[in-house]
């Protein structure tokens, strides 16, 4: 390999050739990306301008349609559809506007908006989206349908409940929630995955805005997915379903830690003093965070005596529980001699003293 004698490129060593080719390749790619950036920028600006113009047209048309009594609705609808709704993008923008109108207006306008929706052929467009292959088009269609409360044949939506894409499962749930006439949570029955917190949030939100009767959550308190049980316990509280309190108390013995935690919290919020006995009985066997939750339940619905029965169950090494205990005890009665417990250096020793002391208080000494 002769490094110092290059005459022409054909004599160059292999490595140099590769490097040269690579450089050229990079250069071409760089230029391609620069072009792409410029193209994107121009396209985005164009689309943006188009969208602004089209949105204005849509809003104006919708306003005439909704508020102008002299407006020949049927004829103008057909005309607008024929003249302006051409591309998929046009349809998308129209649906977006319909959604915005629907979100902001109610009363007599809601019906008119539906008429508008059907008249512009947007229903057909959404159906074709629903049958499309791409998940994001399906999800978008489901979203629009459920927002507007428009029904499609159920067989089209049910499969999405078991889709592998979480977004589709979510939108399908929303769809059933918003369009069903009775028992909006029927889909929970055969749910085979855990509910995420986010799903719980939007289910609750839909239920709040629900016109029909809210279902009895007792039905799912034995569901085999613990997140469903947790969710239903929360809902029992949110919708004040006092008839389910016995089931909540049962849930204190549930095998799942999270379910027990939610049960403790909910019983605390509902101020079910009857549950305290079971809570204190379970206390020694609970996880650290549930022990803590029980302490705070006592703070809200229990007495100083309830609290004191737990002193012997808090071990010397459970420093952080001792701190919780201290915080709560001072709220019941200030003279409890636990003040010295706050010093982290000797908290555990002091705790032993305190255990001895409180045992004697309990015995009435």
Partner 1 sequence: MVIEDNPMVVKSLEFKLSKDGYDVVVAEDGRTAMKLLSESAFDLILTDLMLPFVSGNEIIEFIKSECPDVPIIVLSTSTQEDIITEAFTMGVDDFITKPFSPNELSLRVKRSLAKV
Partner 2 sequence: MNISIQDIIHVFSVLFLIYGLIIISGYIFSAFFSIIEIRDYKRKNNFQDEVALLQSANLPSISVLAPAYNEEANVVENIRSLLTLNYPSFEIVIINDGSKDNSLQKMIDTFQLEPEELVHYHYIPTKKVRGIYKSKIKAYKNLRVIDKANGGKADALNTGINCCNHDLICCIDVDCILERNALLKLIRPFLNDTKRVIASGGIIRVANNCVIEDGRILEVRLPGTFIARAQILEYFRAFLMGRMAWSRVDGLLLISGAFGMFDKKTVIEAGGYDHSTVGEDMELLVRMRRIMREQNIPYTVGFVPDPLCWTEVPENKQILMRQRNRWARGTVETLLKHKKMLFNPKYGVLGLLSTPYWMFFEWLAPVLEFVGIVFFIILVLLGQVNFQVFAIFFLVVYSFSVLFSITAIYFEEYSFQQYKKPKYMFQLMRTALLEPLFYHPIVMWAAVKGNIDLIRGKKSWGQMTRTGLGSTTKK
Query: Which bin fits 150, alpha (ψ -120 to 50), beta or left (φ > 0)?
Result: beta
The answer to whether 362 contacts partner 1 (rule: CB under 8 A) is no
**Does residue 50 interact with partner 1 by CB under 8 A?**
no
Residue 63 touching partner 1 (CB under 8 A):
yes
Q: Which residues of 259-278 are buried (b: 16+ CB within 10 A; e: fewer)?
A: bbbbbbbbbbebebeebbeb
The one-character DSSP state at 153 is -
Task: Specify the stretch interacting with partner 1 by CB under 8 A; choose among 51-59, 81-89, 133-141, 182-190.
Answer: 51-59
| 120 within 8 A of 96, measured Cβ to Cβ | no
Two structure tokens written together for 332: 């019941």
| Distance (Å, whole) CA 294 – CA 268 | 9
Compute how many other C-beta atoms are within 10 angstroms of the C-beta atom of residue 325: 26
Contact partner, 97, from partner 1, partner 2, none, Cβ < 5-8 Å per class: partner 1
Cα angle value 50/56/58 (rounded, 5°): 100
**Residue 20 Cβ, how far from partner 1 at the closest point, in Å?**
55
Residues lying near partner 2 in the complex (CB under 8 A): 1, 3-4, 6, 15-16, 18-20, 22-23, 26-27, 29-30, 33-34, 36-37, 40-41, 44, 136, 139-140, 143-144, 166-167, 193-198, 201-202, 204-205, 227, 234, 289, 319-320, 323, 326-327, 330, 342, 344
Q: Does the footprint of partner 1 cover residue 49 (CB under 8 A)? A: no
Check if the beta carbon of residue 179 is closer than 8 Å to that of residue 146: yes
Judged by beta carbon distances under 5 to 8 A according to partner kind, the member of partner 1, partner 2, none in contact with residue 198 is partner 2
Q: How far apart are CA 234 and CA 208, in angstroms?
A: 13
Site string for partner 1, 2-41 (x = CB under 8 A): ----------------------------------------
The token pair that represents 191 in the structure block: 């749910």
Q: Least Å distance between CB 52 and partner 1?
A: 9
CB atoms within 10 A of CB 193: 13
Contacts of residue 267, defined as CB under 8 A and 6 or more positions apart, other chains included, come to 245, 248, 249, 252, 275, 279, 297
285 binds, among partner 1, partner 2, none (CB under 5 to 8 A by kind): none
353 part of the interface to partner 1, by CB under 8 A = no
Q: Which of 101, 117, 217, 326 contacts partner 1 by CB under 8 A?
A: 101
Partner whose binding site includes residue 223, from partner 1, partner 2, none (CB under 5 to 8 Å by kind): none
- Please state the closest distance from residue 106 (CB atom) to partner 1, in A: 4
Q: Using an 8 Å Cβ cutoff, are 113 and 87 in contact? A: no
Q: Which does 9 bind (CB under 5 to 8 A by kind): partner 2, partner 1, none?
A: none
Q: Rule CB under 8 A: is residue 207 a binding residue for partner 1? A: no
Task: Give the CA diameter of the chain.
Answer: 108
Q: Which residues bind partner 1 (CB under 8 A)?
A: 55-56, 59-60, 62-64, 66-68, 97, 100-109
């Amino acid at each position: 390999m002769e490094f110092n004698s290059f005459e022409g490129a054909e004599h160059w060593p292999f490595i140099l050739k590769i490097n040269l080719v690579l450089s050229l390749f990079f250069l071409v790619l760089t230029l391609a990306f620069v072009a792409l950036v410029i193209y994107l920028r121009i396209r985005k600006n164009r689309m943006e301008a188009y969208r602004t113009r089209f949105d204005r047209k849509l809003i104006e048309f919708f306003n005439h349609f909704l508020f102008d009594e002299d407006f020949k609705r049927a004829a103008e609808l057909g005309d607008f559809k024929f003249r302006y709704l051409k591309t998929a993008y046009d349809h998308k923008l129209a649906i977006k506007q319909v959604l915005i109108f629907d979100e902001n207006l109610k009363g007599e306008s809601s019906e008119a908006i539906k008429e508008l929706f059907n008249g512009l052929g947007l229903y057909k467009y959404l159906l074709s989206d629903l049958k499309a292959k791409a998940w994001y088009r399906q999800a978008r269609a489901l979203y629009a349908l459920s927002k507007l409360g428009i029904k499609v044949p159920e067989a089209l939506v049910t499969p999405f409940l078991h889709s592998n894409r979480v977004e589709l499962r979510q939108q399908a749930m929303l769809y059933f929630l918003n369009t069903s006439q009775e028992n909006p949570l029927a889909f929970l029955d055969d749910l085979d995955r855990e509910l995420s917190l986010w799903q719980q949030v939007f289910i609750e939100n839909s239920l709040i805005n629900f016109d029909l009767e809210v279902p009895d959550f007792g039905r799912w308190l034995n569901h085999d997915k613990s997140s469903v049980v947790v969710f239903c316990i929360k809902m029992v509280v949110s919708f004040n379903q006092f008839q389910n309190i016995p089931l909540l108390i049962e849930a204190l013995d549930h095998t799942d830690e999270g379910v027990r935690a939610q049960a403790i919290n909910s019983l605390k919020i509902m101020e079910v003093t009857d549950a305290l006995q079971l809570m204190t009985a379970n206390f020694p066997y609970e996880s650290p965070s549930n022990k803590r939750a029980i302490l705070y339940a006592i703070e809200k619905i229990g007495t100083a005596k309830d609290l004191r029965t737990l002193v012997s169950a808090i071990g010397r090494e459970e420093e952080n529980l001792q701190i919780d205990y201290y915080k709560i005890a001072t709220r019941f009665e200030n003279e409890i001699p636990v003040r010295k417990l706050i010093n982290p250096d000797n908290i555990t020793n002091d705790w032993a003293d305190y255990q001895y002391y409180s045992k004697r208080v309990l015995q009435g000494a």
